[in-house]
Every structure is written in C-alpha cells, then in structure tokens.
A and B are shown apart, each in its own frame.
Chain A
C-alpha cells in the first residue's frame, strides 16, 4: 500500500505546510475526524486550496503556542454545533430567536466564548463552505478591485478578512466596526499577531442604532453577522447609506446553519436575495457552497448548511 493510499491527505497537503500543521493539531485530539477532513479537502479546487493555505498561515500566527488548546476547542465547538443540529432538524427552527437570549447564553459567558471563538477560527481552514466563500472574497471581491478603495468591515471577528484587505496594494483606508468593545480589542490583538501592514481604524458602532453613515466606502464586508441579528434588514439598510455610488457590498451569510448564537434563520437563496434587495441593493452575483461540497439542490432540500456569498450594489 502506498503512503498516499494509507494517508489520503498526504498528496493534497504536499506544498500546504500550514494547512497540514492545523490539520495535524486537530487530528492529535480528534483522530476520528480524519475522514471528514479528507472529504472536505478533496472537494477543493486549486484556488480553494491556495485560499486554505493563506487562511492557515494567518491562523497559525494567531494560535502559535496554543495549538493543542485551540484544536480541543474546535472539537468542543463541533459537539455544541451537533446539539444545535439535532434541535434544528427536530424543531425546524433555531433554538434561540432574540439577541437577549444569545447574550445571556453565549456572549456574556466568557469561558464559553473563548472556546467557541477558537473553534470557529479553525473552521476557516477546515470547513469547505467557509474556505469556498473566503476564496470568493479573496479572488472575486478583493481581486475585482481595480482602483484604490476605502474598506469597511462590520463584525470583523479575528480580522482575517481585514488582514487580507490590508494586504491588497489597492486598499487606501481600512475600518472595522463592532457592537462590542471586547470583540474589537480581540480584533486589534489578532491583527497585531498576524502582522497587519496598514493602519486599521477599529470603532465601536451599533449599526442597528446608527442613523446615516458619516463616511462612505468603496467596499463593505459583512460576513457571518446577519444571522446573529434579530432585524438584519436594519443593518443592511444602514450599510446601504455607507456605500459610495459605485461601491460594492460583500455579504456572507449561511442558510440552515444552527449554532448556539444564530437567531435569524434563512432557508433559501431567494430569501437572501429578498432580504438584500428589500433595502435598496441589487445583487450582482451570488455563490452558494454547501457543507462538505454536497450537491446544492440536495443540501437545500435536506436543510444542510449552505454558505451564500454575494456582491451587491445600490439599486
């Protein structure tokens, strides 16, 4: 038996040392996850594998010295997600529906949040649908900019997308907003660890309470945020006022994605289009990626998570 046959990942991961390191750290604490990860990686195009390695390189800087804990937290997070999956398929709804509930159960529990945030960080490398929308962001959102651009991201989390926006030679200014000062401090620390090359303005803003934006931007990113809001259309309506006339907004939102703090359920691409276009935006392109690269039609029918990445402009 060849080495490739005994380790189906070896061939794919040749030349992707940081991806290999992240995967090895997870398999050390969760060997049974190997088949899942093999399938996730085998489904990726060369461009997706390049995006995987880019994400893994940043992730390794963020987790340096802490790899085993983060890997254990990823496993723990997957256990929590499986509990939510069970509830979702039994009840056909997300378990929580208000921000107050999510605050009480998840956001205010610092020990829980620390593990959960670590777990989610590794999904940026390990999950097909997350890597696929990240590849879209790198190559067809950032990569489509032809002129210098002013960048705004809402809910930057670990700052991976801000970091790559900063790495673009065309980014002129970079801002990131979050409703939580604690989250922004973590974003700042993460950007430092990754070695961000340009200044990033981090501001505490509640876009649900803001009126009109004072500044306007060429590229606005809101990734994996809308599903955490009771009224996502309010956030999008505000962001529409923050777009320059020719500006573009990149929205990444998952369908049928039960998580401990997801409160707004979107079940179909049509619902996403209606949400975005209902606030005066026009969707230009939408890309859909199902968990584990499952067939889209089957994933939607069976309520398996699908990530929707879309680019829109003011209508």
Chain B
C-alpha cells in the first residue's frame, strides 16, 4: 500500500474515531490542528489503526507520534515488515 493510500485510509479512520463529518488531513497535520484529537481520542485512533492494518504499536512508538505523517510512516514500516 502506498503512502497516499495509507493516508486516505487513515483519514477515514480519523473521521470515524473523532466523530466528525469531514476532515482535511495532510502528513503535516498534528493534534493541534484537529479539535477532537486529544490524548484520549489518540488512544482510540491508535487502536483503530492497529485493527485496520493488523499491526501493533509499542508504547514508545505511540508516544513518539507527533503528526499524521509519523503515523503513515510507522504504518508503512509495520505493514512492509
């Protein structure tokens, strides 16, 4: 799956987890750009991503995530492994 495809899937997951009608997402998007993206919804986002891509993150990886781009890169690395 390409980065663009992962980003698109991620956008769908974020719309669902954050319970919003639409969301503009780029690799540079961070929690500060999305009102519904707080520490608690971050946990649900991570778990939804784990389910969708059938991967599992380490705690240190979850804490290090700063942007959508970080998450795309991590998903890409994990699904390629």
Residues on A close to B: CB < 8 A?
Answer: 35-36, 39, 78, 82-83, 85-86, 89-90, 291-292, 295, 298, 302, 304
Contact = CB atoms under 8 A, between A and B. Distances in A.
Contacts of B43: 82, 85-86, 89
B65 to A, nearest CB: 13
Contacts of B50: 90
Contact of B44 (A36, A89, A295): A89
Given A83-B59, A90-B47, A90-B50, A302 B39 contact: no
> Sorted from nearest, which 8 A-B pairs have the closest CB atoms?
A89-B47, A85-B43, A298-B19, A86-B43, A90-B47, A89-B44, A36-B38, A89-B43
B19 A85 contact: no
A85 B39 CA distance: 10
A55 B62 CA distance: 34
Contacts of A298: 19
Chain A interface mostly: helix
Interface in B32-49: 32, 38-40, 43-44, 46-47
Given A82-B43, A86-B47, 19 more contacts: A35-B32, A36-B38, A82-B39, A82-B40, A83-B59, A85-B43, A86-B46, A86-B59, A86-B62, A89-B43, A89-B47, A90-B47, A90-B50, A292-B40, A298-B19, A302-B17, A302-B44, A304-B40, A304-B44
Contacts, number: 32
A308 to B, nearest CB: 18
Nearest to A84: B43
A302 B19 contact: yes
